[in-house]
Chain A
Amino acid sequence: MGQSIDIKQLQHWDTKIREKVDGFGLSTVAQEFELCDHEQMLSYMAYHGMPSHYPHWSYGKSFERLKTLYDHGAAGLPYEMVINADPCLAYLMRKNSPCLQILTIAHVYGHNDFFMNNFTFRATQPDQVASRFKARADRVRDYVEDPSIGLARVERLLDAAHALSLQCGRNLAVRKRDRGEQLQQAIAAAQPPADPFHRIHKPPDYDEPDLDRHPLEPEDDILLFIRDHNPRLSAWERDLLTIVHEEAIYFIPQMQTKIMNEGWASYWHWEIMNSLELPQDLHLEFLVRHNQVVRPIPGDINPYHLGFRIWRDIREKAGESGGGPSAKDNQGTMFEVRESDRDNSFLRRFLTKELIRELGLFQYAPRDGQLVATRVADDEGWREIKETLIRSVGTGGVPVIRVIDADHEQRGGLRLRHEHDGRDLHLEYAKKTLEYLYRLWGRRVVLETLVDGEASLLKSNDDGFSAEPGT
């Protein structure tokens, strides 16, 4: 890696980059950089970058996996890690070359801007992130050390809660209706539609809404639902469910904007580095590094590459669209998009047929034990490729499963429905996850889904797991 760079030089470059950042109109919050070595970086990666985090064996597993991959040279380390917090927190690898550090700092400011401006992050309360994670860690440690609770029981609950943590509302900007509003909604929905000829029409039959049903509307937040409606849980168990849920909703915006966010940061490091008038050797290294980060990975989707290409396309497109908007306006479009979109809407709006073709995207599916390309970027295929991609990005990889009945068969069972969109559940995983759900709910658990096009009921109760044809 050659010589590393000292803090003075870093500050020198940072001042220059900051000028550019402000010049380009990015709106960032205070930034903190911490220099770390590879062990520390691995550690941060295992704990999602958090300086403090509650203990659980899965982070140990994650650390071991990352370390094995790193030690065997199968995977490198990221140049940086950025935490959505205010002040924004980033880790830099101290052994990285000067060019890489400068590039990374520019990149970090891109993330900083994105975290602070994109709508999905509004609810994450960045100014309290560090203290919240610390407080949660302390609470979990207290439970572990409490002789009446202990590690085994905490772990048992966390295992189950982790399995369900992503089963929650997808759009955190949408406010959840409370019970009263849900009641009103149900009553309003049961009213017959307004009929201007009601005097001459026979009044339609009035279906009385079932207001005793619980929940009134299908419920996305499974952990919270269990917390609020399972009376057999004790206080510490409820608290652990809250902790796991809160952490999940902190990370969900990052999952949902991976492509936009990385693309945005890459786009801005590219702009900033080009405008810095770097000495030639640094500039050449920059070009090499940039192309290593922003390159297609055959057989996979590289969010850096995809995002970067789309952002550039937006920039160029806006310029082409006939005489009107100037470069300034194009940037305006970009800033608007970075505020109001997330990956799926971003791709829907800006992933064009030309881009799909240029990026060589294709769709594949398993057939007879092999993966076969089913659609390529031609005139018929591109729409389907685009749809498939939109469905799988962000939280699209998490099946939508909702609680529909908390008193199933009048015996306190929990009935859930998988909103099937053509993709079947992985049955072994579904089985184990249902067992966890049963552990948390304490009564029978039933999941409606489709398996190979047939309605099925997956059940988990005292007698274990069973799958039956459903209705």
Chain B
Amino acid sequence: MTTVFRPYSGADALRSDRSAGDRLRHRQKVRDAIRANVADIVAEEAILTKTPDRVVKVPIRGIKEYRFVYGENAPRVAAADQDGIEEGQVVGSLADQEAGAFGAGNRPGLDYYETEITIEELVDLMFEDLQLPELEQRKLRESLVVHGSRRQGYRRVGVRVQLDKKRTARSRIRRLVATQRPEATALEEPQRRPFHREDMRYRRRVPDVQAESNAVVICIMDTSGSMDAMKKYLARSFFFLLYQFVRTRYRKVDLAFVAHHARAREVSEEEFFHKAESGGTIISSGYDKALEIIRDRYHPSLWNVYAFHCSDGENYSGDNFDARRAAARLSKLCNLFGYGEIKPQGSYYGDSSMLDVFEDLEADNFHAFELKQKEDIWPRFKALLSRERGSTDDTA
């Protein structure tokens, strides 16, 4: 019988890092699982209001190791604490057991755990899932805009106001020195040495063209009485997606919120989602307000405008014509204009639908559709993006 003690060897790289490959593979699987569930995750309310660097917890369902195991009806044995246990006493909840908090024992547990991921990563995954090739390049969209003119270099001809006196004087001296004959210097009388035409230096001005990468997302929502929490929630999911999408492609992205019922107002985000108002609905008022905002602050030559409108399809019937006309104007100004009609199951909504009104609106970048449930969000969003103006030509 012998005993051997092997001393600690910290530098044994082979041993200490043996799990690296398997850990990497596991992480890949986690990522795949997140991607497979991205539609569910997006529909979870919790992530919508968070900032990009915030960490969210994402439930993973995809990487359990399945075996044949017994279900929940199987009775189990455990030790009581010092107070003892009486028959019929509640000793825990099933949810605890699933989480492994109670009687974890040798039961595999529902292998459901959370991983942490930033909104930024999540958004990346979402758009990877969309499989739009230009997104993977993550190229910012830029447009060239002339901001007046700016100075660039000098030239010998020009108008008087652009004359650069200092440079002109310097080029005169240079000329004099260059033309001086050495033997003549001492003898020659001082004489007048005028400026010549070729001494003149003028500032050159060129048009100032700058690459701009600005976008604005205008969220328009019906906040009339008929919009209940579920409808607002679906709308909010959609706005979130659109905003995140636009954010991946432009350097500067603004948000504007237009709430409308019979009249429209521009409001803060907080108000937008949490304030319910009563009254009828005139959709064209919201569109007019959006047009006004675009005219005042987000001129289409400088800004890429994305507008999206959510409503439950109720509108004052006399307004339908105006609404259609305003929608046509908006789609002319916007890169993308979408209309989502939210009619969740089990929630009240009337028979009227704006989808009929918008049916004959002919604009490539306009898309109207219906949202019935959370699961619709992702496919509808994909469909919407396919309508975007210039979504193909800016990859070049």
Partner-B contacts on A (CB < 8 A): 7, 10-11, 14, 18, 22, 28-37, 39-40, 43, 46-47, 51, 55-61, 63-65, 87, 94, 151, 155, 159, 162-164, 166-167, 255, 296-302, 305, 359-366, 369-376, 381, 385, 388-389, 392, 397-399, 401, 418, 422-427, 429-430, 432-433, 436
Contacts and interface: CB of A to CB of B under 8 A. Distances in A.
A433 B67 contact: yes
Contact of A94 (B8, B85, B90, B102): B8
A229 to B, nearest CB: 20
B382 interface: no
A424 B71 contact: yes
A202 to B, nearest CB: 47
Contacts of B6: 32-35
Interface in B76-124: 76-81, 84-97, 102-108, 113
B93 A63 contact: no
Nearest to A17: B3
Interface of B: 1-8, 10, 12, 15-16, 18-19, 21-29, 63-81, 84-97, 102-108, 113
A388 B86 contact: no
B1 A28 contact: yes
A426 B75 contact: no
B66 A433 contact: yes
Say what secondary structure dominates the interface of chain B. loop
Nearest to A51: B15
Given A64-B23, A297-B79, A429 B87 contact: no
Contact of B68 (A33, A167, A305): A167
B84 A360 contact: yes
Contact of B80 (A33, A362, A371, A426): A362
Given A32-B3, A361-B77, A401 B90 contact: no
A220 B275 CA distance: 64
B94 A360 contact: no
B313 to A, nearest CB: 37
A65 B16 CA distance: 17
B72 A426 contact: yes
Given A56-B22, A300-B104, A371 B5 contact: no
Residue in A29, A381, A399 with the greatest tally of chain B CB atoms within 10 Å: A399
Contact of A424 (B8, B74, B77): B74
23 contacts: A7-B7, A30-B3, A40-B16, A57-B26, A60-B21, A60-B23, A60-B25, A87-B4, A159-B65, A166-B67, A299-B91, A300-B78, A360-B79, A360-B84, A369-B93, A370-B93, A371-B94, A374-B87, A398-B69, A423-B74, A424-B70, A426-B71, A429-B67
A148 to B, nearest CB: 20
- 7 tightest CB-CB pairs across the interface, nearest first? A60-B22, A298-B81, A60-B26, A360-B80, A432-B66, A60-B23, A423-B74
Contacts of A301: 77-79, 105
A73 to B, nearest CB: 16
Contacts of A167: 68
Given A35-B8, A371-B102, A397-B69, A364 B15 contact: no
B184 to A, nearest CB: 88
A359 B28 CA distance: 45
Contacts of B63: 61
Contacts of A397: 69-70, 105-107
A425 B68 contact: yes
B193 to A, nearest CB: 83
A262 to B, nearest CB: 13
Say what secondary structure dominates the interface of chain A. mixed
A127 B18 CA distance: 24
A181 to B, nearest CB: 28
Nearest to B74: A423
Contact of A35 (B5, B15, B91): B5
Nearest to B90: A370
B8 A36 contact: yes
Contacts of A10: 5
Contacts of A433: 66-68
Nearest to A88: B3
B19 A371 contact: no
B93 A371 contact: yes
A363 B77 contact: yes
Nearest to A159: B65
Residue in B3, B68, B69 with the greatest tally of chain A CB atoms within 10 Å: B68
A14 B3 CA distance: 8
Residue in B1, B27, B104 with the greatest tally of chain A CB atoms within 10 Å: B1
A389 B71 CA distance: 16
Given A361-B77, A372-B89, 20 more contacts: A7-B5, A33-B4, A57-B22, A58-B65, A60-B24, A87-B4, A300-B104, A300-B105, A301-B79, A360-B84, A362-B78, A362-B85, A363-B75, A369-B94, A372-B90, A381-B87, A397-B107, A425-B68, A429-B67, A429-B69
Contacts of A37: 8, 10
B87 A302 contact: no
Contacts of B65: 58, 61, 159, 162-163
Nearest to A222: B68
Contacts of A398: 67-69
A121 B81 CA distance: 35
Given A372-B91, A399-B70, A362 B19 contact: no
B96 to A, nearest CB: 8
A29 B21 CA distance: 35
Given A57-B26, A371-B91, A372-B88, A388 B76 contact: yes
Nearest to A305: B79
B69 A364 contact: no
A302 B79 contact: yes
A373 B16 contact: no
A159 B16 CA distance: 25
Given A28-B1, A35-B5, A63 B22 contact: yes
Given A47-B18, A366-B73, A376-B85, A298 B5 contact: no
A366 B68 CA distance: 20
A426 B69 contact: yes
A219 to B, nearest CB: 15
Contacts of A163: 65-67
Contacts of B73: 365-366, 423-424
A262 B75 CA distance: 24
B90 A296 contact: no
Contacts of B76: 363-365, 388, 392
B86 to A, nearest CB: 7
Given A370-B93, A426-B70, A298 B80 contact: yes
A47 B18 CA distance: 10
A372 B92 CA distance: 7
A389 B106 CA distance: 12
Contacts of A32: 3-6
A435 B327 CA distance: 51
Contacts of B94: 366, 369-371
Nearest to B10: A37
A40 B16 CA distance: 6
Nearest to B12: A40
A423 B3 contact: no
Contacts of B75: 363-365, 374, 388
Contacts of B67: 162-164, 166, 398, 429, 433
Contact of B86 (A162, A361, A366, A376): A376
A31 B76 CA distance: 37
Nearest to B106: A397
A299 B78 contact: yes
Nearest to A95: B8
A36 B19 CA distance: 16
Nearest to A59: B22
A268 B216 CA distance: 74
